[in-house]
Amino acid sequence: MRDVIQIKELTFTYPGGATIFEAFSWRVERGDAWAIIGPSGCGKSTLLYLLAGLRQPTAGQVLIDGQPLTRPRPRTGLILQDYGLLPWATVWDNAALGLRIRSFYGPDGVHTPSDEKFDDKGTRVDYWLRRLGIDHVAHQYPQQISGGQRQRAAIARTLVLRPDLLLMDEPFGALDALTREDLQNLTLELRAEQHLTSVIVTHNIEEAVFMGEKILVLGRPPNREAVVVYNPEAGGVGYRQRDSFFARCNELRELMGEDAREMA
Amino acid sequence: MKWRDAALGFVATLIIWQLLSLLINRPVFPPPTKVLVVFAQQITGDLGRHTLVSAGRVVAAIILAVLVAVPAGLGLGQIRTLNRVFSPLIYIVHPIPKIVFLPVILVLLGSGDGSKVFLIALILFFQILVVVRDEAADLRPELILSVRSIGAGRRALFRYVYLPASLPAVLTALRISVGTAVAVLFIAETYATTSGLGYYIIVESWGALRYAQMYAGVLAMSLLGLALYFAVDGLDRRLCPWREAG
């Protein structure tokens, strides 16, 4: 099966009454690099939480690998804007957290993949801290390191678990421009290296165009139809400087413009 | 506080004490020299035994209070309906000085260790309950979501998030309430018992006009409070190293 994610006739309504999605369908193929963009309040984070199994649809289905999602799936990695690092654990312990939770439950197939091995825990953590260039801060606490390093720690924690699907919610939102580009490049590099399917949620047009080979544009809720912009040049070396990059950004800006004005 | 500072404080206390006893010059306020001699003589005997009994009661009460209050506080902090039901009750009961229940507790639990331990545990329970509840309610939802996303269910969340998150609050609550606990123990031990520092100070010493011995008991009680305070501090450094990392 080529589809990693299938959303069929999804309806999602918040307990307060706001309907964010209504009979919404969308699919993601294996190896895709998606970006989801839209103004605040359009439901892009909600969609990501649905994909992560942290929220349940009001109606319709969210299928991952053909299976309906009822809880977080062990092979899905989620990275949030505020990194979600434990303030009381060192960078090393934070990166090891997922593995610790897995050995806490054992390979039960629910919290932990049934083929999980636990013998190389330390080596795996060390490898990813080195790979992300944060091994020198391994024994420091999150509040002692920079925002970029914290984001790298959050990525390390996710990749240690060998995911096949990577979900990111505004992961670079709080970083300065250079660190941001740096981490965008690194994420794309790791994506290719680990054969990951990725979905990144952002409100930043340039980020969506650089990171997403396919871009899902959400508008004022309820979202009924998946509006998709194809962007095959994404992630390429020097794409950020090319005219086609700016043209694509403008295309997206116009597409989003109407809804954004209506919502403001 | 460093040991050097503690030693300096101790010496300063002795000097002021000595001056006051010269100034007041009555048997009820003996100089520290006299008291220290009695303390040294008795700490290996009677006084030592009473101190150990008191220490045992406080430590048992702390353990009991922590074991009950931490899970209860976590539950209240995370389950909103539970908190809505119980928080009015807590607000009413929390400010009542629990020592007023001493007669009731003595009747219900008898004059043994049980009544003293229960009374102190009751005081500590509310202190810990309230701070742990607030700490658990303040945990950022993103933190919980991201830990759930890497596979944590209820048990793992408790072990890896709620427990370490509430640990500093528990220690802070203990640091604040250890003084009250020892004070209440003192009063509780003056009734219907024949052991503990309260009994030693009030019944065996004050009642018999043995003032130097009474002060030796006061000194032991102060040292017990200090030791508990330092123990909590030590636990904090050991269990919560990130608090100093800042």
User: Percentage of chain A with pLDDT > 90?
Assistant: 63
Higher pLDDT, B219 or B208: B219
Domain boundaries along the sequence of chain B: 30-240
Nearest to A54 among B143, B149, B245 (CB): B149
Q: How does pLDDT run across B40-90, given as a tens digit for each residue?
A: 999 998 999 999 999 999 999 999 999 999 999 988 988 889 999 999 999
pLDDT averaged over chain A? 89
Of B146, B152, B161, the CB nearest to A80: B146
Q: Which two tokens stand for residue B59?
A: 């430590």
**Given A133, A162, A191, which residue is the final one in a domain?**
A162
Return the pLDDT at A169.
92
B33 to A16, B12, B202, B211: CA distances (angstroms): 73, 14, 21, 13
CB A60 within 8 A of CB A118: no
Are A175 and A47 members of one domain? yes
Same domain as A134, residue A257: no
Give B148-201 pLDDT, tens digit per residue.
988 888 889 988 998 888 898 899 889 888 888 899 899 889 887 888 999 999
pLDDT category, A130, cuts 50, 70, 90? very high
- Both A5 and A44 in a single domain? yes
| pTM for the structure as a whole | 0.80
Instruction: Check if the beta carbon of residue B49 is closer than 8 Å to that of residue B64.
Output: no
Residue A54 CA: distances (Å) to CA of A6, A47, A73, B144: 16, 10, 10, 10
Burial class (CB in 10 A: 0-12, 13-18, 19+), B139: middle
For residue A81, the model assigns a pLDDT of 79
Residues 6+ apart with CB under 8 A from A96: A121, A122, A125, A157, A160
User: How far apart are alpha carbons B216 and B32 in whole angstroms?
Assistant: 9
Domain identity same for A3 and A25 = yes
| Percentage of chain A modeled with pLDDT above 70 | 96
Nearest to B160 among A81, A87, A97 (CB): A97
Q: What residues of chain A lie within 8 A of the CB of B140, using their CB?
A: 82
Same structural domain, A211 and A136:
no
Is there a single domain that holds both residue A187 and residue A245? Answer: yes
Instruction: Using the 3D structure, point to which of A109, A141, A162 is the last residue of a domain.
Output: A162
Question: Final residue of a domain: which of A162, A187, A213?
Answer: A162
Beta bridge partners of A215: A35, A229
Q: What pLDDT digit, counting tens, does each position of A53-86 carry?
A: 999 999 999 999 988 998 888 889 999 877 789 9
* Residue of A162, A178, A248, A256 lying closest to A212 (CA atoms): A248
Residue A214 shares a structural domain with residue A251: yes
From CA A156, how far away is CA A24, in angstroms rounded?
A: 33
According to the model, what pLDDT value does residue A163 have? 92
Q: State how many domains chain A has.
A: 2
CB contact under 8 A, B156 and A105: yes
What does A162-174 look like in DSSP terms, one character per residue? --SEEEEESTTTT
Residue of B nearest to A102 (CA): B151
> What tokens does B245 get?
């990392």
A66 plus A146 within the same structural domain: no
Q: Which H or E element spans position B152?
A: none
- For residue B141, count other CB atoms closer than 10 A to its CB: 9
Mean pLDDT of chain B: 90
* Higher per-residue confidence, B10 vs A119: B10
Sign of the CA dihedral with A55 first, then A264, A167, and A98 last: negative
Q: How confident is the model at residue A93 (pLDDT cuts 50, 70, 90)?
A: very high
Chain B contact set for A74 (CB, 8 A): 151
Q: Which DSSP helix (H) or strand (E) runs through B46?
A: helix B46-78
| Residue A201 and residue A236 in one domain | yes
Please give the average per-residue pLDDT across A179-206, as a whole number: 92
Q: Which CATH number fits domain B30-240: 3.30.2040.10, 1.10.3720.10, 1.20.1250.20, 3.50.50.60?
A: 1.10.3720.10
Residues A148 and A263 in one domain: no
The pLDDT value recorded for residue A259 is 63
* The pLDDT of residue B246: 57
- Residue A9 — left, alpha, or beta (φ > 0 → left; ψ -120 to 50 → alpha)? left
Q: Which residue has the tokens 């190389």?
A: A120
The chain B residues in contact with chain A (CB within 8 A) are 140, 142-143, 145-153, 155-156, 159-161, 164-165, 167, 240, 242, 245-246
Question: Which residues constitute the domain of residue A178?
Answer: 1-74+165-264
Residues A157 and A207 in one domain: no
What stretches of A192-254 adopt beta strand conformation (E)?
197-202, 214-217, 227-230
Question: Do A196 and A262 reside in the same domain of the chain?
Answer: yes
Cis check for the bond before A222: say yes or no (omega within 30 of 0): yes
* CATH number of the domain residue A256 falls in: 3.40.50.300
The verdict on a CB contact (< 8 Å) between B245 and A161 is: no
In this predicted structure, what is the pLDDT of residue A264?
A: 54
